[in-house]
Structure 1
Amino acid sequence: MSAIKKYFKEETQWAMFGLEYPKPTDFYLSVWQGTRSSVPLLILRTLLFLTAVAIVLTSMILYYLNNYLQFWFIYLTHWGLMTIVLATGFSVAVSARVYFYGPISAEFCLPWYVKSYWVLYNIANPIAYLITIFYWTVLYEAGVEEEFNPTLDVAVHGLNTAIMLLLLLSCSHQTRLLHIHHPLLLGLGWIIFSVIYYFAGGTDTKGNRYVYPVINWSNPGPTMLVVILTALGLLVLHAVTIGLSLTRDALAPYCKPSVISHVEEGTPLRQTQTQTTYSQR
């Protein structure tokens, strides 16, 4: 009980609302590895990024071939996919930066690209889980088909969650309680878009005056109820993300070898020719 009280006392401090972090290594070293190499996460993150890009491109190509490309951008599912592409893309950039130039310093503050990755990670995780749950429990039963291929439908509404789970379980940095506003802002942005889209006369691919049948602004009462329940769902899923992170951190010390360091903390793993020449002088 005291541990829970301590956790909430620390996590509800105003400083936790921001994007500063005491251990930059947590953003490019896996909690499971026993070395200080950025290579393991660089490889995994690259695979996740390429998978996410492949899903997005396949979906967009099929929409284009069916002359519906302009509708691709109206769905929250696809907004979520783009955040996954950006989150995994920035994660690759962080790991690659360390691989080529050495560990990241936070002497003054975290670099912008690390903060960008962290925000996108905070958004993409609960949004991915929400999309998967919402689609298979509500939209699928209502006969909504967002994709033109059944296999792609599973990838878009299932593999998205698998990608973010792997990203979460393999990293080391925390998911902060007060960062709940990150996914909520994306959700709010899409709701505002859906309202504007409705009043501008926008339709779905079948000509209906809504994006999703359960979010139909011609029936504002039931729609607002769905919006509120979805927002509450995001709160719960953000808490689930925190729980998964804490569980990962609790199990990792029992499942990994001691940290082994073969290079100095400030030495890049891959040196350029200029750096090699300089080090030999």
Structure 2
Amino acid sequence: MSTRSRSCSCSRPKCSDFGLGGVSPSVYVTTQCPMHYGVYLAYRILITLYLLGYFLYVFIVSVRPGGPYGGYFFIYLTNWGYILMLVYQICALWNIIVYAAFMKPAGWTSDDVPWYFFHRGQWLLFNMYASVAILLSLLYWGALYVPGTVDLYYDINFHTLNGIVALIEIFLSAMVIRLLHFIYPFMFAVAYVVFAGIYYAAGGTDEEGNPSIYSILDFGANPGLAAGLAIGAVVVVVVVHILIVWGLHKLKVLIFDRCCPSCFPNENVENRDPVELEGDSQELKV
């Protein structure tokens, strides 16, 4: 494989870039920098079990009689974001288990991995999760955090760990991040804003009886402010995807291209020169 700069072979965004295709499914079971599958699998298992265990603990404690949230656990954006992260990690773990436990022992190489539903599911979930997680972390610690009001360990897990894990995934995984995939976190943000509006219109309250999920999102007392913040949040999540998620992905490509050309396996077709792809077209099984 040629070691020419992949970072300079970027093409202009096209309509097909909104979709979830055009790359080999092997990128969902490999890391950007070569790593033993046992190590990668161990990472996936540990992070997924920890996130799942802590989520179940918080959920059970929160919704039990006398708990802090009761039946209101699912109205908060933070919890939506954590659940999204957890589902992504479960999907990513499933994909690597299927490959490491069944395909690899059967003699399959990473080039032989076929497309199936969970590959696109992992890609879709990551595009939604990463931007939302980073935005939630920045927004909470930058504007909403009040010392002593919430357990610090909870804050770290629900308002910090999600953003840190997203950054780790950007640099660790060989998964491609596209500029036009801002549409997915945009759709997630719109979905929550619509939910919040419907919830308010239907007379929903928070666990303390307040007529809004968040005080700054009170469509009754401050409809203009609430609408402005809702629109602003939708715009900002797109900016986060472009400047941070996609930007860090391109930085990763640049760094690995300069320092470790072998970290661009044949299967990562989106980060390779089109001339190279023509010569390797028979090797890719997508």
- TM-score (normalizing by structure 1): 0.80
Write the distance in 2 (CA, Å) between the matches of 1:82 and 1:169.
22
**Structure 1 residue 211 and structure 2 residue 213: aligned?**
yes
Matches within 5 A, 1:144-163: 149-163=151-165
Quote the offset at 1:42 in angstroms.
1.7
Q: Relative to structure 1, is the Cα distance of residues 105 and 242 closer, same or farther in structure 2, using a 3 angstrom cutoff?
A: same
Deviation at 1:175, TM superposition (A): 0.7
Unaligned runs of 5+ in 2: 1-5, 104-108, 266-286
Contact 2:130–2:166 (8 Å) recurs in 1? yes
1:172 to 167, 171, 174: 174
Separation (CA, whole Å) in 2 of partners of 1:242 and 1:232: 15
Q: Which of residues 245, 253, 256 is equivalent to 1:252?
A: 256
* Conserved? CA contact 2:27–2:173, under 8 Å: yes
1:51 aligns with 2:50: yes
Q: CA deviation at 1:254?
A: 5.2
Which ranges of 4 or more aligned residues in structure 1 deviate by more than 4 Å?
Answer: 3-6, 103-107, 253-259
Give 1:92's aligned residue.
93
Is the 2:7–2:257 contact (alpha carbons within 8 Å) kept by the matching residues of 1? Answer: no
1:123–1:182: 8 Å Cα contact kept in structure 2? Answer: yes
In 2, the alpha carbon distance for the partners of 1:86 and 1:249 equals 26
Number of aligned pairs?
Answer: 250
Report what 1:186 is aligned to.
188
Compute the displacement of 1:256 (Å).
5.1
Q: Structure 2 vs 1, CA of residues 171 and 5 (structure 1 numbering), >3 Å: closer, same or farther?
A: closer
Specify the alignment match of 1:223 in structure 2. 226
The AA in structure 2 aligned to 1:222 is L
Which residue pairs with 1:136 in the alignment? 141
| Equivalent position of 1:64 in the other structure | 63
Question: Percent of pairs identical after alignment?
Answer: 24
Contact 1:55 1:152 in 2 (8 A): no
Q: 1:43 to 1:254 in 2, by over 3 A?
A: farther
What CA distance in whole angstroms lies between the structure 2 residues aligned with 1:140 and 1:91? Answer: 31
**Amino acid in the other structure paired with 1:15:** S
Give the C-alpha shift of residue 7 in structure 1: 3.2
Aligned-partner Cα distance in 1 for 2:133–2:90: 16
Counterpart contact for 1:52–1:160, Cα < 8 Å: no
Secondary structure of the 1:173 match is: coil
Report the 3-state secondary structure (helix = DSSP H, G, I; strand = E; otherwise coil) of the residue aligned with 1:21.
coil
TM-score, normalised to structure 2, is: 0.79
Alpha-carbon distance between aligned partners in 1 of 2:247 and 2:39, rounded to the nearest angstrom: 24
Q: CA deviation at 1:257?
A: 8.9
For residue 22 of structure 1, report the CA deviation from its aligned partner.
Answer: 2.7
Structure 1 residue 154: deviation in Å?
A: 2.2
Query: Cα RMSD between the aligned structures?
Result: 2.7
Unaligned 5+ runs, structure 1: 262-281
Residue 197 of structure 1 corresponds to: 199
Superposed CA deviations along residues 164-203 of structure 1, whole A, max 9, x for unmatched, are 2222221012111111111111111111111111122111
CA-CA distance at 1:40 after TM superposition: 2.8
Relative contact order higher in (CA < 8 Å, ≥ 6 apart) = 2
1:126 aligns with 131
Report the Cα distance in structure 2 between the residues aligned to 1:257 and 1:174, rounded to whole angstroms.
16
